Amino acid sequence: MTATELARAVRFLEITTRKAVTATFAGRYTSAFKGRGMEFDEVREYQSGDDVRSIDWNVSARTGRLHTKRYVEERELTILLLVDLSASGSFGSTTRSKAEVAAEICALLAFTAIRSNDRVGLIIFTDRVRKVIPPRKGSRHVLRLIRDILAFAPASAGERTSINAGLQALSAVLKRRAVVFLVSDFQDRGYEALLKTAGKRHDLIAVLLADPRELGLPDVGLLELEDAETGARVLVDSGSREVRRAYEQAGAQGRAALSRLCSGAGIDLIPITMGEDPARILVRFFLARERRL
């Protein structure tokens, strides 16, 4: 992508996402996340009407009088976009690749966050961390994030996904609890332990990107499939009902396993299939989260 093409792509994404970030969209975001960030303020003696769940039993035992922990709402949130731009992100059987949809999702979240006076940061990873931009405020900062995502994608062939690499970078960038959107197709293994740890330290939301062709095969006879990250190729007979069923089952099992992992770790999961409207899906997620809270 040339400098001129990149500038046009950034401008186009800026216009389209700013249009999508309406008052309703931003309002749903604020309701879903504002008030979630609470920080410890002090321990004081228990007063009538205090929530008994806030009692500090250690201090109460030492002093012989009931004490409660007092928390205050953080004035602003820190949003961290943890984006997988490995080689599999270049795949797309619809009008756009997974990397392009990831850029749109990040733009939507970033413009919404700065509209709410929150800070936004970015970590791009493949099989290693490739780019780190600390959280800041402002439209110029967001435009830089978008430009860096678009300029990077798609990754060169052979760059695999290492979710562990991305998760390990969080501790170096974030010193306090933050809202982290992990955007990936999750074509990786062995990251479960770190994902659970990150879910305890941060408000972690997993955004699963999938292409329709990864969920099912068309009935078109012999097909040669290539793994974008390993280069491995396999010839399959898509005309076989058994082959198509086995392919679909493998995809469904992978999504179900990720769903169980996130559910067990208290992590929200947003599945997005290429061809769907990311803005519409995010609004549904904000609304569901708002109702749950």
Residues 65 and 131 in one domain: no
Residues 282 and 186 in one domain: yes
Residues 220 and 250 in one domain: yes
138: tokens are: 């402002």
Q: What pLDDT does 153 receive?
A: 56
pLDDT in tens, the chain (293 residues): 678 888 888 888 888 888 888 877 888 898 888 654 556 667 888 887 787 888 888 888 989 989 998 765 555 789 999 999 998 888 877 778 899 999 999 999 999 999 888 999 999 999 999 999 999 999 899 999 999 998 885 555 667 899 999 999 998 889 889 999 999 999 999 999 999 999 999 999 999 999 998 888 888 888 787 777 777 888 888 888 999 999 899 889 999 999 999 999 999 999 999 999 999 999 999 999 988 87
Looking at residue 279, which CATH number applies to its domain? Answer: 3.40.50.410
Residue 50's domain spans which residues?
A: 39-73
Single-letter code of the amino acid located at 7 = A
Provide the whole-model pTM: 0.82
Cis peptide bond N-terminal to 218, omega within 30? no
**Other beta carbons less than 10 A from residue 237's beta carbon:** 14
Residues 193 and 140 in one domain: yes
Angle between helices 163-173 and 192-201 (to 10 degrees): 30
* Number of domains composing the chain: 2
